[in-house]
Amino acid sequence: MKSKNPLYEKAQKLLEESIIYYRDRPVGTLAARDFGREALNYDQCFIRDFIPAALVFLIEGDTEIVRNFLVETVTLQKQERRIDCYQPPPGLMPASFKVEMHQGEQYLDADFGDQAIGRVTPIDSCLWWIILLRAYVKATGDKALARQPDFQEGLHFILNICLGPQFEMTPTLLVPDGACMIDRRMGVDGYPLEIQALFYAGLRASRELLVADEKGKALIQKINNRLGSIVFHLRTYYWLDLKHLNQIHRYKGDEFGESVVNKFNIYPDSIPYWLTEWIPDRGGYLAGNLGPGRMDFRFFALGNLMAIISSLASEEQAQRIMDLIEQRWDDLVGRMPMKICFPAVEGLAWQIITGSDPKNTSWSYHNGGSWPVLLWFLMAAAQITGREELGYRAMAIAQIRLAEDEWPEYYDGKNGRLIGKSARKYQTWTVAGLLLAKLLQENPHHLSLFAFEEDTEASFCLI
């Protein structure tokens, strides 16, 4: 049901105006419609940006655009790519695509990272694509689309990359820097939480979508093994609360053997001072990253909220994450829901981690900026945990400013009061994020399109 409230009517109109048509059919939405700035690639349809818009369309019954998007992107996935003579493996989904003309004919030009700033690999795209395919099937009952050979092949390609052999001793997915929403160098290479949460949700969705023929069954078995071990790994080793911080604080280093306590050789001195004061007595979160000798203690919003939505976090952990958000509200939500990560890296750490990136200075953009698109994740997580009031509070804050500020991409400053230095205005996922949060507020049943209950099927690791 489309809203009668003027703010939401305005948002709805903006969302409709952002629709891209390909051969007269709607296929996606522009990232932004800011005519005051150079478009760069904001005139493209980004897979990750389209997700909240697609969920709004599905909820409102405009399912055709989502179907077209899924059909076109699965075709793009099969396009052969060559980057400086190198051919990446089949399975990747593009970061974005655009409608172009050649000899009077329209075609879709896709960027798989071969055109993107920094040549970042959009690993989240293929995971979001699976999550969206499940949502489409749930909303429409159109199981036949997912069962089509080209869709099954698309799924197999993605799963073969994600579940194929790696040089790895952990069940997490190893990725280069900038492989997700934070698509610039920000020290999110290795095993960043956001990718692990999307990987988990993507595997859960795949299990529902795969046709159980011989190849499908083999993949489902692999998925079940992997799901159990990811859950164990994340819930055990990524979890940070005062109790766990106390343990790390007293860790011994350089332990050898199977049953050691400090498995990843995290040195107590790597605990940043801010965290010892910031971590509340009650409350916790999943760390940003974990690898050999390295724990990224920063809080990343999308990964933590998606861990709640996908049930990657346990019920208890989900409650503690919401406790943290409530108790550190000024830092994490402030004047615009919500911070992409906390805290910002500054000074020498900024130089080393970002490569002195002028767009990612402290408390700006990916480095501690506030992103309104995160509102819908917060609303969903608040509803799943029965902490609705936190979602409503966030919504009330966002509602005051977004229209007046012309729907910015992100905000700057410790408390999110400044419109982002280089933020695009009329950013579609800002608009769609607000609409989706509102639709969820009105009817939490829509959560079932993209959320997952605690898993009972995977093979659990008994330790």
Helix H or strand E segment including 286: strand 284-286
| Contact by Cβ (8 Å): 132, 46 | no
* Closer CB to ligand GLC, 46 or 239, in the complex: 46
**In degrees rounded to 5, what are phi and psi of residue 179?**
-90, 10
CB–CB of 16/26 below 8 Å?
no
Looking at beta carbons only, is 183 or 412 nearer to ligand GLC? Answer: 183
∠46-48-51 over CA atoms, to 5°?
105
Closest contact distance (angstroms) between CB of 251 and ligand GLC is 35
- Distances in whole angstroms, Cα of residue 302 to Cα of each of 182, 199, 261, 305, 403: 10, 13, 29, 5, 23
Tokens of 260: 């050691």
Least distance from ligand GLC to the Cβ atom of residue 181, Å: 4
Task: Name the residue nearer to ligand GLC (CB basis): 297 or 426.
Answer: 426
Residue type, 238: Y
Cβ closest to ligand GLC, residue 96 vs residue 383:
96
CB of 41: closest distance to ligand GLC in angstroms?
Answer: 7
Q: How far is the CB of 125 from ligand GLC (least distance, A)?
A: 9
Instruction: Indicate the residue among 48 and 414 with the shorter CB distance to ligand GLC.
Output: 48
Smallest distance, Å, CB 118 to ligand GLC? Answer: 10
| Dihedral sign (CA 305, 310, 313, 318) | positive
Local structure of residue 235 (DSSP, 8 states): I
> Whose CB is nearest to ligand GLC?
31
- Residues 6 or more apart whose Cβ sits within 8 Å of residue 415: 330, 334, 335
Q: How far is the CB of 113 from ligand GLC (least distance, A)?
A: 12
Q: Which residues bind ligand GLC (CB under 6 A)?
A: 31, 46, 48-49, 181, 183
Supply φ then ψ for residue 185, to 5 degrees.
-65, 115
To which H or E segment does residue 249 belong?
helix 242-249
**CB closer to ligand GLC out of 362 and 383:** 362
**Which residues partner with 427 through β-bridges?**
32
Output 48 or 207, the one with its CB closest to ligand GLC: 48
User: In Å, how far are 71, 77, 96, 146 from 68, measured between CA atoms?
Assistant: 5, 14, 15, 13
Cβ-based nearer residue to ligand GLC, 18 or 289: 18
Is the Cβ of residue 373 or residue 394 nearer to ligand GLC in the bound state? 373
Check if the beta carbon of residue 175 is closer than 8 Å to that of residue 190.
yes
